[in-house]
Amino acid sequence: MLIAFASSDGISVNQHFGWSKSFELYRVTEQSAQFIKTLDSSQDVIEDEHEKLAYKIGTVKEADIMFCSQIGPTASKMVLASKIYPMRSAENEPIADAIKKLQELLLGNPPPWLLRIVHTTKDKE
């Protein structure tokens, strides 16, 4: 799975989805996590809220799951409609901790939403 993390420092999940200037993209499996790249979402001259959200979603379009510290209800619906699952993380939660929790879910009894993502992702690879 490809997971995007809204982060200003590349270390922790510390950004609101709509305000994040960058996202860290990782490939995550039950056993491993690999940093892929930093996604730049710093274009902030967009005035219209829906256009701004569409731009942010376009930035993370490769991701299956997107972690952020906060996300509004409209943005959450738009992200889900783009087939990206939005997840809220504790403010300043280390990316490594969020990955570990996700891996623990995968190794245990994954919830249905996560199983859907896993099966969809396998089709992409």
pLDDT score at 122 = 45
CATH of the domain at 73: 3.30.420.130
96 token code pair? 């490594």
Spell out the residues 6+ positions from residue 53 whose beta carbon is closer than 8 angstroms to its own. Answer: 18, 74, 75, 78
Give the rounded distance of the alpha carbon of 28 from its chain centre.
Answer: 12
**What is the count of structural domains for the chain?**
1
CA 63 – CA 53 distance, rounded (Å): 15
Q: Which domain holds residue 99?
A: 2-124
Q: For 28-87, how does the pLDDT look when each residue is reduced to its tens digit (9 = 90+)?
A: 999 999 999 999 998 867 788 888 899 999 999 999 999 999 999 999 999 999 999 999
Q: Which two tokens stand for residue 39?
A: 């996604």
Report how far residue 120's alpha carbon sits from residue 92's, in angstroms, rounded to the nearest whole number.
Answer: 29
Q: What is the pTM of this model?
A: 0.93
